[in-house]
Amino acid sequence: MLYPLLRKALFQLSPENAHQVSMSGLHFLAQLPGGKSLLKQQFQYQGKDLSKKVLGLHFPNPVGLGAGFDKNAEHLDVLSLLGFGFIEIGTVTPKAQAGNPSPRLFRLPSDQALINRMGFNNEGVEAITTRLKKYRSQNSGDLIIGGNIGKNKVTENEDAWKDYCINFKGLEEVVDYFVVNVSSPNTPGLRALQEKEALRKIFSELQLLNKNKKPILLKIAPDLETSALDDIIQLTKEINIDGLVSSNTTLDRTLLNADNQKLAETYGAGGLSGKPLLSKSNDVLSYLHKGLGSNTPIIASGGIFTGEDAKEKLDAGAHLIQVWTGFVYEGPRMVKNICEYLSSSHH
């Protein structure tokens, strides 16, 4: 496959530029005569049925793209050609935000990892909703789209619930499920909202608005202590949270090799993702699954690069999985590769 060569070229660029260039390249290919069907044929899984009904939605396969890759819902038309079972957009905030100053995204190739401190850069809920309405009107409604929602940096934590409600009202008609993101390490104080009473407030307000019963999930950090995980398990049961996304990025640098630990110090703050997160995120997933049983859907992310990694998550109790960093390192055939592995291992 050409991707290792292409990756070598892309990795000469800054990570954010590489992202732009690769997305532009995909749009270009899709616009060529026969481009769309060629991309589909190359990258979409065509094997035996891997579809799943989760959250009341019909997923063509369990492999999704995690939030933060297509923050502003600009690339759904081309990303959907690559065979994802679902795509999560955002994180979306009520007002547009520039995020943190660059550089804010760093590669650690020898660990197959990334560190980011993007800081919820996005165009704001109005612009993103408008773009999604346009996408929905021009495409058959078969792509499952999740809306990952957060609070603006300037919003005080006690008012955070209002931001989540504004996002919900805006996106409700154009996304299939919601994810409440209180676990990014890159908005000061955000992770404090994982505390039980703060969560209770956010979810109860959202549930009051949720007339059409859209699934609303909670995305958690992999760095939570067992007692905090116990609180989340208890709250999930108590107020019927529809599902969990486990997990976000980690602040733990000890998962990196020695050279990269030094390098990470020079990069500074941010969330670590990729291969080093695999076993830590699997431990959190297993703990949540044991506490909740199989009735609460869990979307698992963290360190998935291969079919084996994906199967490990599904065997540990995940209903669906999401990729992001692995997709950057493995390239566009990744989803097909994972699906082929899952179908041959009779999951």
Q: List, by residue number, the catalytic residues.
A: 184
**Burial class of residue 117, CB neighbours in 10 A (0-12, 13-18, 19+):** buried
- Assigned token pair, 24: 């532009």
Q: Which helix (H) or strand (E) holds 308?
A: helix 307-315
Q: Which residues pair with 322 in a beta bridge?
A: 64, 301
Q: Which helix (H) or strand (E) holds 246?
A: strand 243-246
**Which amino acid does the sequence have at 338?**
I
Contact 69, 327 (CB under 8 A): yes
3-class DSSP state of 245:
strand
Contact 190, 150 (CB under 8 A): yes
Torsion sign over Cα 180, 183, 185, 188: positive
**Which amino acid does the sequence have at 201?**
K
